[in-house]
Chain A
Amino acid sequence: MADMKSHSTPPIIEARDIVKHYGSVIALSGISMKVLQGEVLCLLGDNGAGKSTLIKTLSGVVKPSGGELLVAGKPVVFSSPRDALDAGIATVYQDLAMIPLMSVTRNFFMGREPRKGFPPFRYIDFKHCDAVTREEMHKIGIDVRDPNQAVGTLSGGERQCVAIARAVYFGAKVLILDEPTSALGVAQTSMVLKYINHVQQKGLGVIFITHNVRHAFAVGNRFTILNRGKTLGTYAKSEISIDELQNMMAGGKELQALSNELGGTI
């Protein structure tokens, strides 16, 4: 059933030969990738591979210098993060997702506040907002005693989960997760990974950016490896092993040599 669906419907998001120049620096030189419904695509790459530039392009923060973006098979041009959000593409940044001084509710509805009343006296319906926030937090297993408590009081993993829950609640079709686990401990990482799995089962497409191959392998269906602004290839989970992924990501041979030298995998 799921297979049939993915064959008949176009990818929810597709990038074709995306090029991005910053002055004379070529950050992306022809990246192509696609994400199907209900699939986790892992973007792997070392520092400087072009991961963050690619995310910024997909989420409307920067405009590509060349190439094409397609959402559900239709070409789109984003001029702001708002456009991308409206097209159903939500990006959760590693540390730029939540505002610690603001309450969970205020963070949850930031930029998309539901309003009541008539202009100029329209106001946020906080009763409704608090109720929704509490319920959504309950769904992902975070016990928020008071949705008015500041986000700063939540743990890093909880913050990531709140950010993801927010994107899902507002109807995201594609979630771009920018290294959601890189700053987290083991227990919190598994909490986030579990939630990514849950989101995937709901039928959303997920782009999971990481440089931790183990985290990628735990939830990913396909893996796209970036190196120096290019795609080195895309592999289904059945086609590749963790070690092969690791080697490709770091540029192959040198790491293999180093790995032998140190007597173990890196």
Chain B
Amino acid sequence: MTETIKIPATSTKSDERIKKVNFLTSLMRRPELGAVAGLIMVVVFFFFTADTSMFSLSGMMTILAPASQLGILAIAASMLMIGGEFDLSIGSMVAFAGLIFGGLLVNFGQPLWIAILFTLLFAAVLGAVNGQIVIRTRLPSFIVTLAFLFILRGLTLVGLKWATGGSTQLRGIGEAVGDTSIASLFSGLAFQGFFAWLAENDLIEKFDNGVPKVAGVPVSVVWFIGLAGVATWVLLRTRVGNWIFAVGGDANAARNSGVPVDRVKTGLFALTACAAALVAIITVLDAGSTDARRGFQKEFEAIIAAVIGGSLLTGGYGSAIGAFFGAIIFGLVSIGLTYTKFDSDWFQVFLGTMLLLAVLFNNFIRRKVTGER
């Protein structure tokens, strides 16, 4: 009896060993390997240096909220980078989309759903224009979108002054939105009922009156996780995903194989701009106002997160889930340093170092993958 059990046990054991080797080689081939390693390193570092409250549920939410806003941008930026292009205008696009969104609500008195739809549509058109300029002029996207970084930031300032009669902050968005169920898709907390239930059953910390200390997950986190999942599925499992890798890897070879290169690139630019608009909608609704500095320097942070996530600057290689981890590393460090005794201004030093290490690591991995010497 015991023997009959033992024999299949050993055979599954040897199977597992083979699987493990395959698993390791396939792991080495994944672009997000560096980001996962980086995340583990950062967590270990904070585990020893930071106050334990950082790893509590509320600490996690404090970290995830900014990480998710950056992450939505970083996931789109990484897809665009895999497609072989850059968009330096996404930070300014956040501000500009915020202005459009706020203006529609406050100045034109539009209902929320129209404001959201129009803002996303407008951003998509602007992104597509960016893409078309890059494709038709064959200029590097770096230069074209750098121009838009300034154009959109400037337009935001001018537009805000026009909309407010001289101020650079547009207020009164909360009042203009009023009470609609659509707003809860873009602002506030999700799963509040679930968290209340957890508190009731003493599964999470709660105040003395029974209200949970963490009332829910910020909606932006839900978007962040959802988008990371969809983007990963698109990249790894769909035809469009194959096309994105192809146009970034070698646009000519892709075109010769019948891939609609220009359409893919234009779509990616539009997608990136839409991600910026989504971040604008979420943050503007949360703050109840929009200002000219919204999204400032987010383009660099998003690209850094994408690079930490394993995306190559030259295109054709990278992952959305890597950008997801890259953004979490970002959030962990920027917020985490306040839980330690270190001066939080070390953040930028850390950021630069991390970027440099990531680029070196990515180059090494690329040479491994392609067999280049």
Contact = CB atoms under 8 A, between A and B. Distances in A.
B245 A124 contact: no
Nearest to B26: A148
Contacts of A122: 238-239
B370 A150 contact: yes
B238 A123 contact: yes
A102 interface: yes
B253 interface: yes
Interface residues of A, number: 31
Interface string B349-373: 0000000000000000010011110
Contacts of A124: 237-239, 241-242
B255 interface: yes
B317 A113 contact: no
B326 interface: no
Interface stretch (B111-119, B179-187, B256-264): B256-264
A111 B371 contact: no
Q: Tell me the interface secondary structure of chain B in the complex.
A: helix
Contacts of B253: 93, 96-99
Nearest to A146: B25
B26 A123 contact: no
B252 interface: yes
Given A96-B253, A99-B316, A111-B257, A152 B242 contact: no
Interface secondary structure of A, over-half rule: loop
B246 interface: yes
A124 B371 CA distance: 27
Contacts of A91: 256
Interface string A131-155: 0000000000000001010101100
Contacts of B252: 93, 96
A88 to B, nearest CB: 13
B89 to A, nearest CB: 27
Given A99-B316, A101-B366, A106 B242 contact: yes
A153 B367 CA distance: 10
A101 B258 contact: no
B29 interface: yes
Contacts of A85: 257-258
B255 A110 contact: no
A232 to B, nearest CB: 28
Nearest to B82: A101
Contacts of A61: 256
A110 B369 contact: no
B225 interface: no
B256 A101 contact: no
A109 interface: yes
Contacts of A215: none
In the A-B complex, the 5 residue pairs with the closest CB atoms: A152-B370, A99-B249, A111-B258, A111-B257, A153-B371
7 contacts: A61-B256, A85-B257, A99-B253, A102-B316, A124-B238, A150-B371, A153-B371
Interface of A: 59, 61, 80-82, 85, 91, 93, 96-102, 106, 109-113, 115, 122-124, 126, 146, 148, 150, 152-153
Given A59-B256, A124-B238, 11 more contacts: A80-B258, A93-B252, A96-B252, A96-B253, A102-B249, A106-B246, A110-B246, A111-B257, A124-B239, A152-B371, A152-B372
